[in-house]
Amino acid sequence: MVGMQQRSSEEAIHAGRARVLADLGAGAVAGPEEVSLLEEAVSHRRWWCDQWPEGAAFLPGLLAQDMQDALLERSGRWPLCPLCASEEPHALQVHPELGEDPYWVCEATGRTVAPVGGLPGDRHED
């Protein structure tokens, strides 16, 4: 059973990494520095998942939040809301903060934008 949990946790880590990387790419911010930041977050979350294997399903949302924090410190808000292009730029938020099947939400309007890993490419639709 332990081997199964480890494999399941590792699969969840890789799936979460792929989803966040897809969103970084959709916003054209998947450069070497950002990928390095993602790898740091993955490393930290691997330890976290080893401590709490049942939390593996929460990894995509946690990694997305980790990247938001890391990018805010280095380059600003990410990802920017594609729904409110004519207003003050603001970042999307991950909902639920700790839960399965996370999605991006525009907190200004309360509208769901996309699941984590499913952000549209860098375009604005009115």
CB 103 within 8 A of CB 116: yes
Please give the DSSP secondary-structure letter assigned to residue 81. P
Entry pTM: 0.86
For residues 13, 14, 15, 20, the Cα torsion angle rounded to the nearest 10 degrees is 90
**Which pairing describes strands 93-95 and 103-105: parallel, antiparallel, or unpaired?**
antiparallel
* C-alpha torsion sign, points 90, 22, 50, 57: positive
pLDDT in single tens digits along all 126 residues of the chain: 444 444 578 898 999 999 999 999 998 888 999 999 999 999 999 999 989 988 899 999 999 999 999 999 888 899 999 888 777 889 999 999 998 999 999 989 999 999 999 998 854 333
